[in-house]
Structure 1
Amino acid sequence: MQHGRYRFIVGFLAAPVLLYVVFVISPYVQAFYIALTNWKGVSANPQFIGLENFSRLLDDEVFWAAVRHHGVLLLVMPLVTIVIALFFSFLLNLSGGQKGGQMSGIWGSKVYRVIFFLPQVLAVAIVGVLFQTIYRPDETGVINGLLGKVGIDPVGWLIDPNIALLAIIGVMVWQAVGFYVVLFSAGMSSIPKDVFEAAALDGAGRYTLFFKITLPLLWDTMQVAWVYLGIAAFDAFALVQVLSVDRGGPDNSTTVLPLEIWRTAFNFSKFGYASAMGVALFFMTITFAALTLRVTRRERIEF
């Protein structure tokens, strides 16, 4: 009986595991191998050069510029997104006080959830084209048009190297907030209402409800959100390609590693060097996720 169960489990898992190995693990292994060669994308037998591509990365200024930009993205984008999403989630779920003996959100909260989630259904390319119009450097742009009405000169949102990356981060936050509003709302909905009602009866205000009750009970959800947003910060390929000047400009002020990988491989046919960048990005992402889960680990609160 026991052997029959094992055979059933193995037979049930064999096909999905095989597909995973072929389409996920195998490409990773091939990328690691290609990173050790000087493959140009066409030769059948690339020359093995060992760690030469990785040593070149150490002296590549564009590579390190992209790494610094990922550092800014990791610092700003997840933090701002989570803070805004938590604020709106609290408003939509718990800030309306008690109605019918239960905690509720502000009036029209169901409609607001739909509005917040709308950016999620838009393709990234559409979002990029939309914000190209919003960020135009003259008064035909939406933001500069509004600034012009109050006497402020137009701002080069995407052509000024000092603010171009921050402008793109703003778009990433705008697009991501809706999903995390829904995620945190689901987390708040899973918290027993008795906890909030008891706190409200004891005289707890909105500040106490948010910081002393909601945040500790949402910690696991916030941990997952931080990892997801960090992975998104290591990507950022599509928005940077669509929004930035000359794909990563001006003067490489907005370039990111996925964009450099694509450009190195398909513009310069240096697939071996691009794979080395990809391997570096892979280990950065894995390290970030592991450190985040380790640092933010807390004892689970049961309720």
Structure 2
Amino acid sequence: MATTTTERESTAAGSGAVPARDRLTWRERALFTAAFFLPPRLTPDRVRYDRRYRKLDQHRFIVWFLVPPVLIYLVFVISPFLQAFYYSMTDWSGFDSEFSFTGFDNYERMWHDEKFWDAMGNSVLLLVLGPLITLALGLFFAFMLTAGGRHRRSEPVSGIRGANVYKIVYFFPQVLSIAVIAVMWGRIYSPHGGIVNETLGAVGLDSWKQEDWLGGDLARWCVLAVLCWSFVGFYVVLFSAAMSAIPTQIYEASLLDGAGRWQMFSRLTFPLTWDTIRTGWIYMGIQGLDGFALVNIMVPEHGMDVVPSYLYKKAFQEAQAGYATAIGVALFLVTLVFALIMLLLGRRDRIEM
């Protein structure tokens, strides 16, 4: 028995083959390709009135809508990264237009550079401990301001009295520029008349006084303390806003179940604000990896280096821009790996409220 046209088309659809009427000849394919790049007014009528043109028109709108931002991103973001990788394999001085290609010599030199690894160690220390300490303090203060007060009859949870004033006080370092903070703390750590040494002497701890707080092994811990102090207020306000968005009915239910403050924080507040915490961890980690202005202004020369300050010295003080660019590529890879690890480890089921 001869098969009908409908049966042949259904058989072709079931086998995954394209029906004969939907197949494009090479001339139709050329017309549709040209129509993709033409405005609707200039589209040939043969294509415009084809039922397949509607799908092409949808894709054309999406593509042309995305082309400008993608081009801007490629020119101003991707292109500098590619140029940096190229210059990292040259002996460019940074002040001369002539340079030669050296391959991976800069990366081999960086691998054996002890000062670079000292700077990388300091940056990794700020990367790990900076977010850990800052976010822990931010969570603690935010929870105390939001739900650390005495229980009131009209509210299941309440913050401490004067919470808004404390938020302003905590947030105050964010108003100051990083240069002002570095200069101020440089004077605080000064061995001659600095507040730290004077306070230790006033309380009878003269043996704890140091002749050089910002030199040697103590420098990294002093910089870490200033880094945490300068950013903790921002996270107090950020986490307070996230905690205030949690419905009070959830806290009421937990109180009826007999939950204490620690159970409320660990079982409710922390999971419900996890997305904000993860974002803050990435942002604070990038701030810890930077640390250029803080170290370059506050710490005396040769006191300590982080990767950005070491890069600056090689590029602008020693005219080794090619080697400095290789250091910048290494810093970019460390930042990228850190962000990817945090996004992967921080992934968890989203809780809808």
Asked if Structure 1 and Structure 2 have the same fold, meaning a TM-score greater than 0.5 normalized by the shorter chain, the answer is yes
Percent of aligned pairs sharing the same letter: 43
Whether contact under 8 Å (1:36, 1:52) holds in the other structure is yes
Structure 2 SS opposite 1:163: helix
Matched, 1:124 2:178: yes
| Count of aligned pairs | 297
Matched, 1:65 2:121: no
- Aligned pair partner of 1:114 in 168, 175, 179: 168
Matched, 1:188 2:227: no
Greater shift in the superposed pair: 291-300 or 116-125: 291-300
Could you list the per-position Cα deviations for residues 126-184 of structure 1 after superposition, in whole angstroms to 9, with x for gaps in the alignment? 0011111211113x211221111112223245344121110011000001101111121
Please report how far the alpha carbon of residue 23 of structure 1 lies from its aligned counterpart in structure 2 after TM superposition.
1.9
Whether contact under 8 Å (1:35, 1:53) holds in the other structure is yes
Greater shift in the superposed pair: 8-17 or 99-108: 8-17
Q: Report the TM-score, using the length of structure 2 for normalisation.
A: 0.79
Q: 1:224 to 1:156 in 2, by over 3 A?
A: farther
Matched, 1:228 2:268: no
Please report how far the alpha carbon of residue 109 of structure 1 lies from its aligned counterpart in structure 2 after TM superposition.
0.7
Matched, 1:259 2:312: no
Residue 29 of structure 1: aligned partner: 82
Measure the CA separation in 2 of the matches of 1:111 and 1:210. Answer: 23
Matched, 1:171 2:226: yes
What is the root-mean-square deviation in Å for CA atoms of aligned residues? 1.8
Residue 207 of structure 1: aligned partner: 262
Measure the CA separation in 1 of the matches of 2:310 and 2:273. Answer: 37
Measure the CA separation in 2 of the matches of 1:84 and 1:115. Answer: 14
Residue 73 of structure 2: aligned partner: 20
Structure 1 SS opposite 2:340: helix
Measure the CA separation in 2 of the matches of 1:178 and 1:12. Answer: 40
Whether contact under 8 Å (1:158, 1:244) holds in the other structure is no
Measure the CA separation in 1 of the matches of 2:73 and 2:347. Answer: 29
Q: 1:186 to 1:6 in 2, by over 3 A?
A: farther
Measure the CA separation in 2 of the matches of 1:25 and 1:109. Answer: 44
Measure the CA separation in 1 of the matches of 2:349 and 2:141. Answer: 26
Q: 1:159 to 1:112 in 2, by over 3 A?
A: closer
Unaligned runs of 5+ in 2: 1-53
Greater shift in the superposed pair: 57-66 or 143-152: 143-152
Matched, 1:52 2:102: no
- Aligned pair partner of 1:86 in 139, 147, 155: 139
Measure the CA separation in 2 of the matches of 1:65 and 1:275. Answer: 18
Whether contact under 8 Å (1:74, 1:233) holds in the other structure is yes
Measure the CA separation in 1 of the matches of 2:244 and 2:275. Answer: 14
Measure the CA separation in 2 of the matches of 1:45 and 1:2. Answer: 52
Residue 293 of structure 2: aligned partner: 238
Please report how far the alpha carbon of residue 7 of structure 1 lies from its aligned counterpart in structure 2 after TM superposition.
4.9
Q: Report the TM-score, using the length of structure 1 for normalisation.
A: 0.92
Structure 1 SS opposite 2:217: coil
Measure the CA separation in 1 of the matches of 2:151 and 2:65. Answer: 49
Whether contact under 8 Å (2:179, 2:294) holds in the other structure is yes
Please report how far the alpha carbon of residue 14 of structure 1 lies from its aligned counterpart in structure 2 after TM superposition.
3.7
Q: What amino acid does structure 1 have at the position aligned with 2:146?
A: N
Q: Point out the structure with max Rg over C-alpha.
A: 2
